[in-house]
């Protein structure tokens, strides 16, 4: 955990400013839980390093509690939401708080759209951009996978997940929590779990704790193996995680020589990301 974020967030204190609960109604089908705590919102905004770029996409801005802290930075911000009510609020009541927005001095745009289906090239062209947000838990893993697909333009990704998922993404090998999300994310990004957020700072409160993480793309994120094959190997291995790789990877029809490798006597959670890449390279050569 980053020393900057070594803190414990408790319930909303009475002297903290919170957004009006009725401004936008949280919708269950969209997985909305609106963050009410200003201090937590500021901490999430501070997770962005914006090292050498200033384009940012915020997913699911809701009532803008995080948005306003992002706007305090030198950014070109696009806030994307599916909720028409949230979009209307952000373009009217929220915007009134910022004279700079009305004067056109801040680069901020609110768009209606589904991030998972959106053509991201239409937003910032070929320029790099960061992604952040308090992500809907029901699609958070899909948001992460789309980020990985577009990693050439996304050097940084921060935001809030269900705590268990955030920890899994950042987990190192040797742990039971280490899995598909861990390997496929850490093949391209350095992952850091930053802090935990309790349910009572949301409206409505979720049934679980939340966790905030940061991903910084590796300096050299080109793989020394076939990417699609790596994804297949990892998903196949963890699909039968109680078995050794020698047994779980039988469908790859490995040669006897490869099957004798010590690496294949291990279970998937025992392999580091580097070892998974090495194993994929071996299988790739075998396939010719």
pLDDT in tens, 101-111: 655 556 899 99
Task: State how far the Cα of 228 lies from the Cα of 218, in Å rounded to an integer.
Answer: 19
Q: Which residues of 184-204 are buried (b: 16+ CB within 10 A; e: fewer)?
A: bbbbbbebbbbbbbbeebbbe
pLDDT in tens, 156-204: 999 999 999 999 999 999 999 999 999 999 999 999 999 999 999 987 7
Q: What digits encode the pLDDT tens for the residues 143-154?
A: 999 999 999 999
Q: What is the pLDDT of residue 77?
A: 95
Report yes or no on 158 lying in a domain: yes
Boundary of a domain, candidates 170, 194, 217: 217
**What local confidence, expressed as pLDDT, does residue 67 receive?**
93
Is 246 in a helix, a strand, or coil? helix
Same-domain status, 194 and 143: yes
pTM of the model: 0.88
Do 235 and 152 lie in one domain? The reply is: no
- CA-CA distances (angstroms) from residue 226 to 115, 223, 247, 276? 27, 7, 22, 12
83 lies in the same domain as 49: yes
- Residue 236's alpha-carbon distances to 171, 262, 280, in angstroms, are 19, 19, 12
Please provide the average confidence, as pLDDT, over all residues in the chain: 87
| pLDDT value at residue 132 | 98
φ/ψ of residue 275, rounded to 5: -70, -35
- pLDDT above 90 covers a percentage of the chain that reads 68
Same domain, residue pair 105 and 151? yes
Domain co-membership, 134 together with 274: no
pLDDT at 10: 44
Res 8 pLDDT > 70: no
Domain that holds residue 241: 227-287
Number of independent structural domains in the chain: 2
* Whether residue 33 is found in the same domain as residue 117: yes
**Residue 206 counted as domain residue:** yes
217, 248, 265 — which closes off a domain? 217
Cβ atoms 48, 76 nearer than 8 A: no
Q: Is residue 110 part of a domain?
A: yes
Residue 16 belongs to domain with CATH number: 3.40.50.150
Using only the alpha carbons of the chain, give its radius of gyration: 21
One domain for residues 144 and 52? yes
SS3 label, residue 107: strand
Verify that 125 and 149 share a domain, yes or no.
yes
Alpha-helical runs (H) found in the chain: 38-45, 67-70, 84-91, 93-96, 99-102, 121-124, 140-149, 163-170, 180-186, 227-239, 245-248, 256-259, 273-287
Please say if the pLDDT value at position 96 is more than 80: no
Going by C-beta distance under 8 Å and a sequence separation of 6 or more, which residues neighbour residue 133?
58, 59, 60, 61, 66, 159, 160
- 245: domain CATH number is 1.10.8.100
In a domain, 222, yes or no: no
Lookup: tokens for 36 = 């009410």
Select from 217, 238, 255 the last residue of a domain: 217
Same domain, 211 and 278: no
Tell how far CA 137 is from the center of its chain. 11
| Parallel/antiparallel/unpaired status of strands 55-59 and 130-133 | parallel
Whether residues 281 and 175 share a domain: the answer is no
CA angle 147/281/254 to nearest 5° reads 120
Regarding whether 235 and 202 lie in a shared domain, the answer is no
Which pLDDT tens digit goes with each residue over 202-257? 877 778 999 999 999 999 999 999 999 999 999 999 999 999 999 999 999 888 88
């Amino acid at each position: 955990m980053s020393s900057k974020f070594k803190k414990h967030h408790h319930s909303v204190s009475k002297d903290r400013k919170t957004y009006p609960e009725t401004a936008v109604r949280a919708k269950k089908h969209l997985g909305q839980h609106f963050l009410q705590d200003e201090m937590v919102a500021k901490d999430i905004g501070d997770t962005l390093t914006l090292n050498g770029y200033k384009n940012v996409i915020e997913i699911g801005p809701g009532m803008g509690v995080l948005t306003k802290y992002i706007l305090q930075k030198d950014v070109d911000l696009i806030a994307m939401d599916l909720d028409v009510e949230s979009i209307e609020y952000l373009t009217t009541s929220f915007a009134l708080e910022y004279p700079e927005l009305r004067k056109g001095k801040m680069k901020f745009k609110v768009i209606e759209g589904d991030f998972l289906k959106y053509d991201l090239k239409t937003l910032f062209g070929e320029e790099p951009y960061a992604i952040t947000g308090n992500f809907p838990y029901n699609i958070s893993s899909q948001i992460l996978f789309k980020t990985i697909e577009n990693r050439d333009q996304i050097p940084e990704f921060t935001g809030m997940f269900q705590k268990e998922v955030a920890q899994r993404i950042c987990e190192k090998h040797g742990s039971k929590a280490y899995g598909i999300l861990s390997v496929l994310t850490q093949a391209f990004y350095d992952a850091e779990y930053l802090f935990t957020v309790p349910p009572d700072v949301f409206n409505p409160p979720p049934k679980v704790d939340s966790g905030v993480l940061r991903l910084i793309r590796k300096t050299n994120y080109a793989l020394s193996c076939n990417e699609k094959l790596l994804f297949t190997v990892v998903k196949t291995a963890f699909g039968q995680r109680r078995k050794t790789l020698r047994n779980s990877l039988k469908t790859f029809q490995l040669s006897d020589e490869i099957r004798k490798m010590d690496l294949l006597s291990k279970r998937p959670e025992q392999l580091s990301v580097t070892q998974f890449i090495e194993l994929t390279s071996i299988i790739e050569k075998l396939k010719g």
